[in-house]
Amino acid sequence: MRFGVNTFIWESPLSTAHVEALADKAAQLGCDVLELACEDPALLDFPRVRDALAARGLEPVVCGAFGPGRDISSDDASARQGGVAYIRQLIDAAALVGAGIVCGPMYSQTGKARLLSDDARGAERRRAVSALKGLADYAAERGVRLALEPLNRFETDMINTVQQGMDFLAEVDHPAVGLHLDTFHMHIEEKSPAGAVRLAGDRLFHFHACENDRGVPGTGQVAWESIALALRETGYDGAVVIESFTPAVRSIAQAVCLWRPIAPDQDSIAREGLRFLRQLFVD
């Protein structure tokens, strides 16, 4: 198992200069993986990013940010087209940097939380499934897999639980599409996060480790021992990545409703979290 961090801990939006500095930091902190939060792909020179990570022995993962205008489920054709174009950019970026995974809640726009009629919800779902079928083919041709992240009920009304995610995967019906689970969201939505991991089984492509308050793993209420056991039992061999946020990165703090410090500083999230995860999974 490999351990890493998401660049959201330190910077947003991410640029090439950020990556070159953060790659040194991540390597010094003992990361195996650096997850690149690609809010604006135009800010990143992906060949330079690839070389920066390779020089430090870091495995890349590409993470998307699905704001307005990037919604493959929308009834607005321009938003659907924007979502498809953005996900294709992420897939191209992953292929360029040598990342096997593109992750995130790419089935819809983050922040859509509404009561809809069954007909309207079904239409949204069909649009997302249709788009993902084509995107999955595009990804598979480039050696990339898509990992869809269920979010909590306050951030999406489409996929909140692993069961909903598995039902959605059955409709997409493509081996290049799986799930990306996050302990923060699971702590809110799942009766048993460990049971949810087992349900995902071999469709689990990527894993985010974050505390129930989005803080340092191991400092809160998440049932880490049972989750670690479930990951071992399912044979998960992907990356375990800390995705956390601080008020220092104001644009993301606003987006995730983070109004107070959850750690002494940004580096502590990575340093202490990685130490805990290595002890949990390795020692």
Catalytic residues: 149, 243
Long-range contacts formed by 263-266: CB under 8 A, 24+ apart = 263/215, 263/216, 266/9, 266/10
- 8 A C-beta contact, residue 180 and residue 148: yes
Tokens of 121: 């919800």
Give 239's contacts (C-beta < 8 A, 6+ positions apart): 1, 2, 3, 4, 32, 33, 35, 59, 61, 101, 206, 207
In the block, residue with structure tokens 């598979």? 140
Q: Which residues pair with 62 in a beta bridge?
A: 36, 102
CB 105, CB 148: distance < 8 Å: yes
Q: Contact 61/3 with Cβ under 8 angstroms? A: no
